[in-house]
Amino acid sequence: MSSAYEYTKEQLGDLLGDEPRYRVDQVWHGLWNEAQTFSEITTIPRTLRSRLHEQFKPSLEVANDVQSDRGVTRKWVFRLFDGATIETVLMSYEDRVTVCVSSQAGCGVGCTFCATGQAGFTRHLTTGEVIEQVMFAAREAAPRRLSNVVFMGMGEPLENYRVTVDVVKRLHEYRGLSARHLTVSTVGVAPAIERLAKEGLPLTLAVSLHAANNETRSELIPLNRRYPLERLHQACLNWIATTSRRLSFEWALIDGVNDTEQAMHELASYAQSLRAHVNLIPLNPTPGYLVLGSSAKRVHEFRDGLEALGINVTVRNTRGRSIDAACGQLASVTNAKRRLIPVRSA
């Protein structure tokens, strides 16, 4: 049995075979516009509700549910049918409600500072598994309307390319989300960025840069050896030329590693040449990477320095640090007790 969110409207209609068209519309409206479970879709007869219950099965089971910032940040670990675990984070702001979804269980890229990368790859998620994360969050966000979806949970969305494209298309078509409200974050899979540019999808691209010299970047992100900064630059230029959209760079500030004056100048010239926006995120410590994030003072100096160099920059606050809300951390803590205590580098 699979989730109803695996299907397009047409496919769902076929699966409901003998039901009239308006019934399919009602089910669809309940699922997509109202983010309802079958038992909540009271516009349809009870018999159809129980038929739907038998025919489809939600793909997410809550394995852990935590909150911080007095409930404005919530995080769930979900167990999938095969026992794999993923995480989803819901963040409520004054002007928007954002869900951060996982695209894979684990991740094969293996970035050294990332808890998901440290844990390795389990499998790709299906379209329905990604969409269910959005719909679950939409239900929890009510009465506020979920406004933004970011692919910044576990996994590399462009390594699960077809599913990522499919999810973005459906969220646009069926929930009306547009480029300002859909962000895909990638570690920089250059050929996939170029392929994605051609799809003409309404989305914002964020590239996790973290270092603008190949030596440091390859240490942090092993994939940089395959697609070094020069190749990534080409792909970014292609993205901008094809989509006419700006892109942004993510930069997790790591004490003594990429928060130096030299790193700042390297970043400034790389971002300048692509007219990219920079998002600074203080690194969240993870069990397998014994270096700390930059101090708050250094984060602000770094931001001011970039601004003085003409870069458009924002500091992303570390929502949910107390619940390990950065990429993959809660899942890893749920699965195994922390073995190492992060220490400040010399």
Other Cβ atoms closer than 10 A to 219: 15
99 binds, among ligand SAH, ligand SF4, none (CB under 5 to 8 A by kind): none
Is 293 near ligand SF4 (CB under 6 A)? no
Q: Residues 153-175, buried b or exposed e (16+ Cβ, 10 A)?
A: bbbbbbbbbebbbbbbbbbbebb
Catalytic residue (choose from 100, 107, 236, 327): 327
The DSSP secondary-structure symbol of 159 reads G
Among 137, 187, 203, 278, binds ligand SAH (CB under 6 A): 187
Residue type, 165: V
Catalytic residue (choose from 87, 132, 140, 156): 87
Torsional sign, CA 247, 317, 322, 61: negative
Cα(90)–Cα(140) distance, rounded to whole angstroms? 9
Q: What is the DSSP string of 32-79?
A: IIS---GGG-TTS-HHHHHHHHHHB--S-EEEEEEEEGGGTEEEEEEE
Letters for 232-271 (x = contact with ligand SAH by CB under 6 A, - = none) are: ------------------x-x-------------------
CB of 316 to ligand SAH, least distance (A): 9
CA 250 to chain centre: 12
Instruction: Reply yes or no: is the peptide bond before residue 143 cis, omega within 30 of 0.
Output: yes
- By CB under 6 A, what part of segment 102-141 binds ligand SAH? 113-114
Is 324 near ligand SF4 (CB under 6 A)? no
Is 286 near ligand SAH (CB under 6 A)? yes
Does the active-site annotation cover 327?
yes
Site for ligand SF4, rule CB under 6 A? 107, 109-111, 114, 116-117, 154-156, 187, 208, 327
Active site residues: 87, 327
The residue ranges that bind ligand SAH (CB under 6 A) are 113-114, 152, 156, 185-187, 208, 250, 252, 281, 283-284, 286, 326-327
